[in-house]
Structure 1
Amino acid sequence: MLDLFSGEAPWQEPLAEGAVIIRRRAFDQGEALLDEIARVAQINPFAHRITPGGYRMSVAMTNCGDVGWSSDIRGYQYSEKDSHSHQPWPAMPGLFRQLAQEAAAEAGFPGFNPDACLINRYAPEAKLTLHQDKDERDLQQPIVSVSLGLPAVFQFGGFERGDSTQKVLLEHGDVVVWGGPSRLRYHGILPLKAGVHPLAGAFRYNLTFRRAF
């Protein structure tokens, strides 16, 4: 049972060289982070993007920051405007940026300044297949990923899609940071199990911070 009032301190759980889970790092900020997600989604609603192969993604997404990541039949790309609405992405909330910078520094990547935050919303059975984050120009910059809401099983693999993977449960408030020698490892999320979270309801939300340019 999730204890909304637990004062348990965050701790680090290594995944690989350059990759770590900071357990419960964002737990105490969870409600404020979800409020900011709702504000971003009022400006740029969640949508199911289409992959270059023509498939509808099971995960709904929006973005905030100087640039946003999206997918359509033309491919994967970062842009200053949403290709659907042709409007600029909402500004990145200060709370988001501070969390990403502090978590990156705690994981050994000081000086991280994200310009993009991809926000994914998972409903039951939604998943993210194994993939690499490689559309960014500077692959020396880490990825910071924040889990909110329902728990999910995170897959963290090697440098080829067929490599074996670690499977770890990510819960509300957990933050994963990977970079350096682990920057291009494959990763994904197994289909989300149904449930109800006291703050996020029937969903899992994920904030993925990147330095795209």
Structure 2
Amino acid sequence: MSFFKKMFGSEQKQRAVTQVKDLQINDIVVFTDSFALPSLLRDQQFQVSAVNCYEYEHRTQTEWVLIGQSDVELFLSLEVDDKTYLKLSLKVEHHDVETLFNLDAFSEVFDEPGQAFLTRQSDNDHTQGWSGEEYKQQAFAQVGFFHRKDNRVTQLSQFEGSEAGEQFELYTLYDQDETRGIDIEVWEDGDTDVFLTLFRPTTDIVDMYPGS
């Protein structure tokens, strides 16, 4: 009996992953096969490659970077309202935006007071299943800081400088049901990143397990 205790008692119990908020680097997430999801997500598994953080005046938001087949990269965070939803973000390029929207209308997102209204022209293969028909602007030039660190285990710096994160301005639009959105991040050097976002129930992730 004591021999078996020595053999098995010294082994570390494998970490269980039961909630999205506990995901760590190398962990695996598996999405449902529901046709409500874009084909990029449907019945696919992704590995967490990095954990970052967005810091705003009154909240912080953890972001998990997901890598799938063919090095497809997505961004996952949790949106907490009355319920908790998955926020899934897909980065799109200029030519994608040009296909989706009239560029003159899109430029109105950056005009004060931030009341742009966008109507989708058409999708391409990259954006299929991610875009909504119409969007109304909700946020204009909201200041935030991006940290390449996990705010769950590392305290964010309260001081200016390199530890304060990378400053940006956020512009946000939602569709009528607020199940799809657009996030636009404008950085201090003028670079602009555009993301199509989906808000989905947490049950869309059907399995999670620790990576190697």
TM-score, length-scaled by structure 1 = 0.28
- Greater strand percent: which structure? 2
**Structure number with larger C-alpha Rg:** 2
